[in-house]
């Protein structure tokens, strides 16, 4: 099974909104840089993530995809 949260590292601008708004505090900014010089967000605790998708809703770049076990996100 893939990670519950997938961040498009090259779309991410490192704004930190997903980190700030995650109710479970399981997103963080990576120490690494993407090719445009930003620290991309990443999921650091997949077990605690509830797949609530708030991070994806907050992302101004549309760079986060959330996977759920039984339900698909509405397009
Ligand atoms: S899906 Fe919800 S719990 Fe999981 S990282 Fe995003 S905001 Fe946090
Ligand atoms: S909200 Fe989007 S652009 Fe901002 S840090 Fe998170 S993934 Fe990156």
Q: Indicate if the pLDDT at residue 73 is higher than 70.
A: no
Distance CA 10, CA 29 (A): 13
For range 29-46, the mean pLDDT: 97
Q: Indicate if the pLDDT at residue 72 is higher than 70.
A: no
Q: CA angle 30-36-38, nearest 5°? A: 30
Distance CA 2, CA 18 (A): 19
Task: Report residue 13 as tokens.
Answer: 């601008």
pTM over cut 0.85: yes
Looking at all shown ligands, the one closest to residue 34's CA atom is 2
Fold exhibited by the domain 5-66:
Alpha-Beta Plaits (3.30.70)
For range 18-23, the mean pLDDT: 98
The residue with tokens 């991309």 is 40
Distance CA 52, CA 43 (A): 13
User: Ligand 2 mean position to 3 CA, how many Å?
Assistant: 17
Ligand 1 near 12 CB (within 6 A): no
Read off the pLDDT of residues 5-19 as tens digits, 9 standing for 90 and up: 999 999 999 999 999
Query: Which residue's alpha carbon is at the smallest distance from atom 8 of ligand 2?
Result: 12
Task: Report residue 68 as tokens.
Answer: 């759920």
Looking at all shown ligands, the one closest to residue 3's CA atom is 1
For range 36-50, the mean pLDDT: 96
Residue extents of the structural domains in the chain: 5-66
């Amino acid at each position: 099974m893939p990670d519950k949260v997938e961040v498009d590292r090259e779309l991410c601008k490192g704004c930190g909104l997903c980190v700030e708004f995650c109710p479970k505090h399981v997103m963080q900014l990576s120490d690494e840089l993407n090719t445009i010089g930003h620290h991309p967000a990443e999921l650091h605790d997949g077990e605690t993530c509830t797949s609530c998708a708030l991070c994806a809703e907050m992302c101004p770049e549309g760079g986060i995809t959330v996977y759920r076990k039984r339900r698909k996100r509405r397009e």
